[in-house]
Structure 1
């Protein structure tokens, strides 16, 4: 356990139940001490998961002096608000992606963290899988020559129900771009270290005024071109293909390697040669360990923060251009 770090979870969410809480425990990144829910679900949630304290409001959890760090697992529109509130309460914050819905919110979040002297970071778990380090090594080593274009997709099928899933609610920051399209956008920001020079956006909505359930983006980063796709209407796919002048790197498990009961695959293809590299990793566990270390040492990760800003700026630009 990292110096007895005590976590609170804002929101009785599925992602916390199935992924983040088990990862904190599995990685020895601290104790999950408390959970809060404004909908009354906290007591049952806490009982199911063996969490000692359940609060009926997020304010109550933030007032708990024994909670050191909070994981924000609320709807997208609530991320910035409660991250700021948690920082002002003196809590370190790991917030689910997207941490903000625009640069103005990110400025407010960063300012609150500076004033309070706490660590705040975005929970993009795929960033912590070691397959990315292997990809960087391959690119830097010239494995596929010059990187020319990138194709990346994240899709899954989302049932239309009543009441609608929060991913389909515009008032809660839903839509395919914010929910899953942010991953390919973030990957491009990581690959290039920049924001795009040009963007094009097309989308589809189930009904006028609803969220965009299918989004495709074309982008140019200097000489590099990219095509990014996401939807709630296609069979599961969360992949990227990096196409170079001398070959291709295919990442079939780019964003959800945790779904495989096996290592992630990095497929390198050059002319007649095809090599499948297996890279083991626990991206949720690594994320929990990484953030616990940030808290323990009191040191931020400037590369992570810079990537969060690039992604927020790009998502804002896409949303503006596509009226999303």
Structure 2
């Protein structure tokens, strides 16, 4: 392996253990070298697939390690900005879980620190690295479905019994919009290259977090509707409906976990062309794309400026939402 990007992880949470840790370890051009956690027990699953891992019991100690090039930050939402800034100040490249911030204007200090430190920093918005989404963007750009008329997004799961989950706590930046609204909003923005002009919404609040949000928006070229919920049966779907065709994604966000990634292209005459992506791991692809940007200066598909736009949309939903 030539000049691998050497990674450290801040925190040993479930998502890092199940998905991003293995993805970093498996990615071409990457090497997982360190983990910071105060719990030796939590480090054990990481050491099971990466025995040579160095374990630090302090986040700052990991950031001070000279053999680490990049840091993955999967901490609770309210800690993302603080530790991303600290990592960049230490000269590390940063890939931080979404939502990287709790408000759009917090991206400004992240962008400023990125530019000052001369590092790559990005939100871990993995779907843009999946070939199904690259295909959708290409289909729309090529005009295969004609003029785009309406886009709809749906994403839900039910974690009402997980009372200690950070998604159910307002003090840790919980709620459905910050956790999964980023997907239904960001996907529409990525695939179309457009930003919303008008937004209306309704939110059902439970214990200080948004449990269900219904959103309507008008983009320059199409109308938009979506809902996200952390109190509904698991479901996800994105649909791009044009005058001459329709694109439907059946596992747009959690490919392989929710089911096989499929892009349905509905054509005139009720013809449906289905493209399947059974083996693509967007977490691994994300790490590899990050590495190419770090090593070779390749354009990164999801810069902080893009993520700021999605957070701006989330902020606007909170501002205008009526009770549901």
| Counterpart-to-counterpart distance in 2, 1:48 and 1:174 | 31
Tell me if 1:143 matches 2:140. no
Assess, with a 3 A threshold, how the Cα gap between structure 1 residues 266 and 46 changes in structure 2: closer, same or farther: closer
Give the structure 2 partner of residue 182 of structure 1: 182
Tell me if 1:269 matches 2:270. no
Give the structure 2 partner of residue 215 of structure 1: 213
Mark the runs of 5 or more structure 2 residues left unpaired by the alignment.
none
Assess, with a 3 A threshold, how the Cα gap between structure 1 residues 132 and 279 changes in structure 2: closer, same or farther: same
Assess, with a 3 A threshold, how the Cα gap between structure 1 residues 228 and 154 changes in structure 2: closer, same or farther: same
Which sits farther off after the overlay, 175-184 or 52-61?
Answer: 52-61
Give the structure 2 partner of residue 80 of structure 1: 81
Mark the runs of 5 or more structure 1 residues left unpaired by the alignment.
none
Indicate the SS of the match to 1:259. coil
Deviation at residue 294 of structure 1 after TM alignment: 1.2
- Cα contact 2:251–2:259 (8 A) shared by 1: no
Give the structure 2 partner of residue 21 of structure 1: 21
| Counterpart-to-counterpart distance in 1, 2:130 and 2:73 | 21
What are the residue-to-residue correspondences of 1:310-321 with 2, within 5 Å?
Answer: 310-321=309-320
Assess, with a 3 A threshold, how the Cα gap between structure 1 residues 303 and 261 changes in structure 2: closer, same or farther: closer
- Cα contact 1:2–1:30 (8 A) shared by 2: no
Assess, with a 3 A threshold, how the Cα gap between structure 1 residues 316 and 261 changes in structure 2: closer, same or farther: closer
Deviation at residue 10 of structure 1 after TM alignment: 0.8
| Counterpart-to-counterpart distance in 2, 1:43 and 1:276 | 41
What are the residue-to-residue correspondences of 1:189-268 with 2, within 5 Å?
Answer: 189-207=189-207, 210-259=208-257, 262=260, 264-268=261-265
Deviation at residue 49 of structure 1 after TM alignment: 4.3
What are the residue-to-residue correspondences of 1:266-305 with 2, within 5 Å?
Answer: 266-270=263-267, 271-279=269-277, 281-298=280-297, 300-301=299-300, 304-305=303-304
| Counterpart-to-counterpart distance in 2, 1:74 and 1:64 | 19
Deviation at residue 186 of structure 1 after TM alignment: 0.4
| Counterpart-to-counterpart distance in 2, 1:323 and 1:10 | 37
What RMSD, in angstroms, separates the aligned Cα atoms of the two structures? Answer: 2.1
Which sits farther off after the overlay, 38-47 or 249-258?
Answer: 38-47
Give the structure 2 partner of residue 105 of structure 1: 106
CA-to-aligned-CA distance 1:69-122 (integer Å, 9 cap, x gap): 100001111111111100000100011111112222101111111111111011
| Counterpart-to-counterpart distance in 1, 2:89 and 2:295 | 19
Deviation at residue 57 of structure 1 after TM alignment: 2.0
Deviation at residue 146 of structure 1 after TM alignment: 0.7
Q: How many pairs align? A: 320
TM-score by length of 1: 0.91
| Counterpart-to-counterpart distance in 1, 2:129 and 2:55 | 30
TM-score by length of 2: 0.91
Assess, with a 3 A threshold, how the Cα gap between structure 1 residues 303 and 230 changes in structure 2: closer, same or farther: closer
Indicate the SS of the match to 1:257. coil
| Counterpart-to-counterpart distance in 1, 2:181 and 2:209 | 13
Give the structure 1 partner of residue 305 of structure 2: 306
Indicate the SS of the match to 1:254. coil
Indicate the SS of the match to 2:235. strand
